[in-house]
Every structure is written in structure tokens, then in C-alpha cells.
Homo-oligomer: A and B are copies of this chain.
Amino acid sequence: MKKKLRVSVVGATGMVGREILRLLMDRRFPMSDLTLFSSKRSAGTGVEVAGELVSVELLKESSFLENTDLALCSAGKAVSQLVRSWVQGTKVVVVDNSSAFRMDPEVPLVVPEVNPQDLRGHKNYIANPNCSTIQLVVALKPLNDAFGLKRVVVSTYQSVSGAGQKGMNELSTQVQDLFSGKTIHIDHFPQRIAFNCIPHIGTFGDNGYTDEEMKMTNECRKMLGIPDLKVSCTAVRVPVFSCHSESVMIEFQRKASVAGIREILAKAPGVLVADEPEKGIYPTPAAAVETPDVHIGRIRPDISGKNAFHMWVVSDNLWKGAALNAVQIAEQLLKDKLL
């Protein structure tokens, strides 16, 4: 009989939390108990899980520790900092979707298709990478193994669901207000997002990059185990509800070809090659919604570079970019008897 776990979802009423619940049920994750936690704002409400309304508890140390073997946490950095302090020295294992501890050398940062080995020897706290990084690194890993990465330049087209329910609502509301001639309110994004592109996600650092852009660089380096990997990113918010797209230029160390890249990616776990452009087959955010894969197409030589290639990489930022990857980390822990 499979080991059954008491699972807690922290941030169960958020966009990622709800997808985690759905994926735990859909993928029949072995659970003996499921406890939903949230902040004061949502505690006492209910969330539908597999057709039943499950009540949401206020997150408190005692009830959390008493009810949890494994926690999937998606409630922001501050909550993660609290939860980590609670679980230190306990046997409770946490998979954390926030950015709080991703770069902590004691915390494995894992995409199961990329670096499952980093889960070994975990100290009961594991970080889920940033959404835009996950889909990129799923594409980069097999290509690095085959050809050696020399340099990666990424421009992102990121959906508003990356900013949670508030981001989704702001796009909807602004679109409706624009169409009805009302005053536009900007509350959540730094500029109007309806029918606009905003080259500003997160906060700007001294080097002119946002923290969102630097996550791409730093998290790729950590997961691929290449501390000086050359990756640069321009992160742009676009008026799309779900799924992030990325225009990616890769230079390789060893001789690569379009056919070779397609062959490698077609065999790569978690990748769906959609690359027959002349038939209208290429990835789009609309086509990737609620799919588990990283969709890759528009693979072609970079006519401006040497041994350089372009590709277009799309994935559901709430699924592979967040909830699905968190659940897959938990599945990997079980599979490797690390839980």
C-alpha cells in the first residue's frame, strides 16, 4: 500500500492554491487528510475540492504542525518565512512556491525534469522556482546536456495571472471600463495593463534589471548547477490572462542544428514540441491553458549569430509554472522515498 500523507495547502484560496488542490485530486496524490489554511481574510470560507466544500482554517502554528506531514505553501514571502521558522527541527516537509528561500544554499530549488537529484538530503524545506524560470529551464536542461549552453537571452510575454487574482481582476475591469468609456483605475500593476505592455515586473535593482528578471538568471544558474551561466532577461507584462510566453535566443558551445534541437526536445520530459509553422502549428498562450507541458516552437537558426538559435516557449504559469511543479516535487519526494 502506498504511503498516505496528511497534506496541508497554505494559501488554499489563492489562484495557485486552488490549482494545487485540483491537481492533488486529479493526479490522485496519496493523502490521508487534507487541511486548507489561509490568512484571516479568507479563513472560515470554503473551497470546493472534488465537488465538496472544504472549510478553510486560519493559519496557526499549532494546528499547522499537528495536521501536516507535507505542506504545499503558496501564500507569499512573509507567510513562508513564518512557516519555515515553525517547521525547523520538525519532520514536516514544505514545498514553498514563494521566492523567500529560493537562493538559500540549504534549500533545494527543483524542477523534477531538471534536477530531481537536488531533493536528496533536503532539510525538510524545498523551493518551487519562479514561473517564467520553470518553463525556460525545462527547455534549457536537455539542450545543455546535448550542446552546452553558452548564452541565453530571453524576452518574456507574461500573463496577469502571474500577479494573482488581483492581476486578473485588474485586466478584466480595465478592459470593461475602457470599452464603456469609464475612468481607468490602476491599483495593482504599475501602469494600465489593458491593451498595453509593461516592461516592469517586480522592483528595479541597481543594475537596471528587475528582481523578476534576475530570478531568471539566478534560478537557472542554481538549478543547472552552472554558477556563471550567461542568461539575461527582459520581463514584460502583457494583457493575457493565463500562460507566459518567451522569445528565447540560445548560443551553444558545441555545434547544434535545428533538427538536432527538435530531436532532443521531442524526447525531453515535460516538453511538447509544436513546430510546424507552415501549417499554423506553434505555441500560443491560448492553446497552453491547463496543459501540463512546456510548449516549444518557432525553432530556427539565429541569422545574426554563430551556432545560435531562436525558439518560442509557452507554458501555463499557474500549472507547470507554479501548482503543477509543486505537486510534481511532492510526487518526486514520494517516489524517491524522501518523504
Contacts and interface: CB of A to CB of B under 8 A. Distances in A.
A74 B153 CA distance: 36
A231 interface: yes
Give the copy number: 2
Given A240-B239, A277-B200, A280-B200, A298 B195 contact: no
Which bucket holds chain A's interface residue count?
Answer: 35 or more
A241 B195 contact: yes
Interface stretch (A8-16, A48-56, A99-107, A301-309): A301-309
Contact of A175 (B175, B234, B287, B305): B175
B190 A298 contact: no
A196 B151 contact: no
A20 B224 CA distance: 53
A67 interface: no
14 contacts: A171-B195, A172-B179, A191-B280, A191-B284, A197-B245, A207-B300, A208-B299, A208-B301, A230-B303, A230-B304, A231-B304, A232-B302, A234-B310, A249-B249
B157 A192 contact: no
A258 B208 contact: yes
Contact of A286 (B171, B192, B312): B192
A209 B310 CA distance: 10
A265 to B, nearest CB: 15
A208 B309 CA distance: 11
B217 A303 contact: yes
Of A151, A297, A299, A304, most B-chain CB atoms within 10 Å = A304
